[in-house]
Structures are given as structure tokens and as C-alpha cells.
């Protein structure tokens, strides 16, 4: 290293030190810790890649577009966090796997609080296009005892790969809220989930394309399960055999969450109804962790 290099390194370090020190008077210890670390890592990143002025301009323009696209219906910032794996990293740190409990995964932007209450065996599809799918299972504690009265929110995309909220108008399809029964059991009709593209017509889509990455998520059905005394579970089940299981755009797949969706044709369904044509069946037994540690990543209003 020449003495000029050494002087440059010292000048750069002095900028970082000064900015870190500027938070020294912050009253909230946690805030100070987070901001100091953020500055150190951000500066280290800029030095690591020797960030050019043009790249800084491009990054600001990119984040500005992310902000302009974000509103009540579209959350491009969460999408950015998702495709950078930050959402899954945060899930993994805050809802670490607990022995025997069902694993968590990313929450996503398509949950709607206050979805219609559905009776056991009811149909959450409500006209959403797709192959009918019977979903059933139980909610249990890690000791195997049933959890009655657990609140089970479910939501999914239709066979065209869209959630109801992505259509114009106010349709409610492919989502519902159920309760587990006295034996912990639950059951409902829905449609077989389909793989879909995350919203890719904005800056996050460009980031993926430029990175040689795809926007697809493997087919999945979202669950959020809450019950007093248990850690809230935010998860999905994925369809076994889906072609995108090994390249989920948001890194949400865990092996333990991949389930067989068995194809049936005609006959009598588990609820006793006579079926014509193709339908699917999946069984998903949910195990809730005790409420000791902190919870997943759903936004405040979903808690």
C-alpha cells in the first residue's frame, strides 16, 4: 500500500467514524445500536465495491421509483426486501425452527385482514378459477394435544396466478378465516394453488431481470394460525413437484412445507359430496410452538 492509499483509507474511515459518533446521544439504546451498525455496514459496502458517483445516482433513482410505486395496494419496498432474501432472513431469526413445530415462511403482500369467516367444510374459492381442492388437517401443540378454536387465515392465488386483490373491483376470492374444532381439526374447499409471478412490472422486476433471475413463486397456499398461548404461525404449504420449488423468487421454500396434493377424479369427497371431474386433496397437520419467543413478520395490523 502506498502512503497515498493509506491516507485515502484513513480519510474514508474518518467519515465513517464521524457518522457513527453522530448517534452517540441517541436516547434509545436499541436505536443507537441499529443506526451505528447500519452506517458501518453501509459504508463498508460502498468501500468494498468502490461505489461510483453514477452508481450512487442510479441507486437513488431506483429507490425513488420503489417509493413512488408503493401505496395501499402495492408494496414495492416489501417486494424488494423479499427478493433480496431479507424477509426470509428476518423470519428465520425471529421465528427459528422449534422442534416438532411447523416451520414459518414469508408473509407476502396479499394478506387481507378481516377475510370472510368460513364454516368447517366451506368453500373459500368463492368462484376463483381452478381445480377444486379439499384441504384438511389439525392444529396441535408440540405435545400432540389438540388446539381447539385456533384462528386459521388462509389465502391463495387462483389458477391464473392472481390474488383477488390484484383484480380491478372488490372481489373476495381464495381467502377465508376458519376455526379449528374441539378436536383441533379443520377442513375446507379451495382450489389447487398455481405457480405465479410476483409483481414484476416495476423496479424490482427490473432488478430480477438484470440479475438473470426469474419472478416466479412455486404454487402455495398461505396459512396464518393464531391461538392464545402459542406463537403465531405464518407459513405456506407448497405443492410437491412444482417446477419452481428450487428457484422461488423470494426464497420461501422449506422442505418440511412441501406437501403432496393428490389428484382424484370423480367419486365421493371426504365431506361426503359426490364429485364430477378432477379434484385434489391435501392434508396438512399444523403444530404450534409455545408462545415463549418472538413472532414472525406479519405487519402490525395482522397481529
Residue 287 binds which entry of ligand BEZ, Fe ion, none, CB below 5-8 Å type-dependent: none
Give the residue among 190, 191, 136, 193 at the shortest CA–CA distance from 161. Answer: 193
Phi, psi of 118 (to 5 degrees): -120, 130
Site string (248-287) toward ligand BEZ, x via CB under 6 A: --x-------------------------------------
Task: Say if CB 126 and CB 188 are below 8 A apart.
Answer: no
CB neighbour list of residue 201: distance below 8 Å, 6 or more residues apart: none
Binder among 39, 76, 91, 108 for ligand BEZ (CB under 6 A): 108
| Site size for Fe ion (CB under 5 A) | 1
Does 77 help bind ligand BEZ (rule: CB under 6 A)?
Answer: no
Minimum distance from CB of 236 to Fe ion (Å)? 7
Does 219 help bind ligand BEZ (rule: CB under 6 A)?
Answer: no
The residue whose Cβ lies closest to ligand BEZ is: 108
Minimum distance from CB of 26 to ligand BEZ (Å)? 32
| Site size for ligand BEZ (CB under 6 A) | 9
Minimum distance from CB of 32 to ligand BEZ (Å)? 31
**What torsion do the CA atoms of 130, 135, 141, 145 make, to the nearest 10 degrees?**
170
Does 109 help bind ligand BEZ (rule: CB under 6 A)?
Answer: yes
Indicate the residue among 79 and 147 with the shorter CB distance to Fe ion: 79
Minimum distance from CB of 34 to ligand BEZ (Å)? 24
Site string (101-140) toward Fe ion, x via CB under 5 A: -------x--------------------------------
Binder among 43, 66, 82, 88 for ligand BEZ (CB under 6 A): 82
Task: Say if CB 296 and CB 95 are below 8 A apart.
Answer: yes
Indicate the residue among 108 and 203 with the shorter CB distance to Fe ion: 108
Residue 109 binds which entry of Fe ion, ligand BEZ, none, CB below 5-8 Å type-dependent: ligand BEZ
Give the residue among 241, 298, 294 at the shortest CA–CA distance from 106. Answer: 298
Indicate the residue among 82 and 118 with the shorter CB distance to Fe ion: 82
CB atoms within 10 A of CB 32: 15
Minimum distance from CB of 192 to ligand BEZ (Å)? 16
Stretch 16-55 residues interacting with Fe ion (CB under 5 A)? none
User: Which residues bind to ligand BEZ, rule: CB under 6 A?
Assistant: 79, 82, 106, 108-110, 198, 217, 250
Amino acid at each position: 500500500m502506498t502512503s497515498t492509499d493509506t491516507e485515502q483509507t484513513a480519510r474514508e474511515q474518518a467519515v465513517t467514524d464521524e457518522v457513527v459518533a453522530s448517534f452517540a446521544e441517541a436516547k434509545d439504546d436499541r436505536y443507537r445500536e441499529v443506526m451505528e451498525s447500519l452506517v458501518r455496514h453501509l459504508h463498508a459496502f460502498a468501500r468494498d465495491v468502490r461505489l461510483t458517483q453514477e452508481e450512487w445516482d442510479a441507486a437513488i433513482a431506483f429507490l425513488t421509483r420503489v417509493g413512488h410505486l408503493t401505496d395501499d395496494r402495492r408494496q414495492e419496498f416489501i417486494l424488494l426486501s423479499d427478493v433480496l432474501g431479507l424477509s426470509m432472513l428476518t423470519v428465520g431469526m425471529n421465528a427459528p425452527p422449534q422442534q416438532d413445530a411447523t416451520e414459518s415462511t414469508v408473509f407476502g403482500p396479499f394478506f387481507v385482514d378481516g377475510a370472510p369467516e368460513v364454516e368447517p367444510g366451506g368453500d373459500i374459492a368463492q368462484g376463483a378459477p381452478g381445480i377444486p381442492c379439499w384441504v384438511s388437517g389439525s392444529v396441535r401443540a408440540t405435545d400432540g394435544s389438540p388446539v381447539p378454536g385456533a384462528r386459521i387465515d388462509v389465502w391463495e392465488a387462483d389458477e391464473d396466478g392472481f390474488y383477488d386483490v390484484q383484480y380491478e373491483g372488490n372481489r373476495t376470492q381464495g381467502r377465508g378465516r376458519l376455526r379449528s374444532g374441539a378436536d383441533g381439526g379443520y377442513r375446507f374447499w379451495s382450489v389447487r394453488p398455481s405457480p405465479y409471478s410476483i409483481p414484476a412490472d416495476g423496479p424490482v422486476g427490473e432488478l430480477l431481470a438484470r440479475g438473470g433471475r426469474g419472478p416466479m413463486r412455486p404454487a402455495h397456499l398461505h396459512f396464518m394460525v393464531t391461538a392464545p398461548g402459542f406463537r403465531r404461525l405464518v407459513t405456506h404449504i407448497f405443492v410437491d413437484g412444482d417446477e419452481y420449488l428450487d428457484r422461488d423468487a423470494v426464497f420461501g421454500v422449506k422442505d418440511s412445507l412441501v406437501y403432496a396434493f393428490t389428484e382424484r377424479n370423480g367419486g365421493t369427497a371426504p365431506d361426503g359430496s359426490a364429485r364430477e371431474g378432477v379434484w385434489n386433496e391435501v392434508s396438512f397437520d399444523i403444530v404450534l410452538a409455545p408462545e415463549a419467543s418472538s413472532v414472525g413478520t406479519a405487519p402490525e395490523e395482522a397481529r
